[in-house]
Each structure stands twice: as structure tokens, then as C-alpha cells.
């Protein structure tokens, strides 16, 4: 049984409430006051979720290292990518605003080309989790004396890949 930290659950619950409030303000309220509150909420609520996720991930680093890499990726795929795909298949016809799709492959193609179906954070979190796994494996392989060394090397690799991608 996993040990839960109540304060993290409370923080996540507060973030969820801010998301709901933000969406209510975004689609149902007008005026400058609503816009100020909306801008305030949207300035931190998703970064807060990602921060909390990163903190929980750092607490589970030893557990991640004990799991087999493919088992970890499969578990994250099932819990993050499958819900993203299912949600996308449900809402894609409304986003694309076509009367009907001729087949499943057309829906999948549209979802791949236009992944922002409102559940973008699931794919982002999946990528972050896979990167975290790779980082843990990388740091373990190098037998870094400190986590800071591993993070610095890992960050340099990520920036290198990004720069290479931009130039291509």
C-alpha cells in the first residue's frame, strides 16, 4: 500500500478547484473583474499541477528504479495516454465540426494532427514521466555522485536535442 501525503492531496484538490473556477469564469462570466481573477488562476494552476507531479515523482524515484522500464512505461501509457485517446475520440467530432467521420482512421489522424482536445496535459505528463524514467536510468548508469550532476547532464542533453530539432 502506498503512503500518501495528505497535504499533497489537499494541494491537488485546491488546484482542481482553481481549474473548475477558471473554466467557469472563462466561459460564463464577463467583465474586467472576472478577467483579472481568470488571469490570476491561469497564471499558476497548471504549473502547480506539474510541480506537484514532479515532487511526487521525486519521492518515488527509488520505486521507479526498482520497476522494469517497460512495465513503468506501460503503466503510464494505460493511465495517461489511453484516457487522452478515448477523450479525443469522444470530443474530436465536435472540435473538427464535421458532420461525420468516415472511419476510425480519420478520427485518429485528426487527433494526431490536432491533439489539443482539452486533455493535452495527459500527453504532457506522460512525456514528463518517460523523461523522468530515462533520467533515473541515465543517472543510475553514470553512477553520479550527486543528483545535481545527473540533472545538469540530463538538461544539457535535452537542450541539445531541442536545438537539433529546431535546426532540422
44: DSSP letter: T
**Mean pLDDT of the chain, nearest integer:** 75
Measured CA to CA, the distance from residue 149 to residue 144 in angstroms comes to 6
pTM to 2 decimals? 0.59
Measured CA to CA, the distance from residue 44 to residue 127 in angstroms comes to 20
Among 72, 89, 80, 74, residue whose Cα is nearest residue 120: 80
Report the length, in residues, of the chain: 168
- Burial classification of residue 68, based on how many CB atoms lie within 10 Å of its CB (0-12 exposed, 13-18 middle, 19 or more buried): exposed
Per-residue pLDDT of 51-72, as tens digits, reads: 887 777 777 766 666 678 888 8
Q: What is the dihedral of CA 89, 95, 96, 98, to 10 degrees?
A: 90
Per-residue pLDDT of 90-114, as tens digits, reads: 776 665 555 555 555 666 666 666 6
Amino acid at each position: 500500500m502506498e503512503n500518501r501525503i495528505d497535504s499533497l492531496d489537499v494541494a491537488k484538490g485546491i488546484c482542481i478547484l482553481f481549474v473548475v473556477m477558471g473554466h467557469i469564469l472563462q466561459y460564463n462570466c464577463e467583465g474586467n473583474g472576472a478577467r483579472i481573477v481568470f488571469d490570476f488562476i491561469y497564471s499558476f494552476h497548471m504549473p502547480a499541477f506539474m510541480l506537484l507531479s514532479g515532487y511526487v515523482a521525486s519521492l518515488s524515484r527509488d520505486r521507479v528504479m526498482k520497476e522494469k522500464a517497460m512495465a513503468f512505461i506501460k503503466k503510464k501509457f494505460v493511465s495517461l495516454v489511453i484516457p487522452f485517446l478515448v477523450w479525443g475520440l469522444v470530443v474530436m467530432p465536435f472540435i473538427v465540426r464535421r458532420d461525420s467521420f468516415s472511419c476510425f482512421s480519420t478520427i485518429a489522424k485528426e487527433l494526431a494532427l490536432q491533439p489539443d482536445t482539452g486533455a493535452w496535459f495527459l500527453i504532457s505528463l506522460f512525456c514528463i514521466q518517460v523523461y523522468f524514467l530515462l533520467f533515473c536510468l541515465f543517472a543510475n548508469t553514470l553512477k553520479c555522485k550527486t543528483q545535481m550532476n545527473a540533472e545538469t547532464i540530463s538538461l544539457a542533453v535535452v537542450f541539445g536535442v531541442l536545438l537539433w530539432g529546431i535546426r532540422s
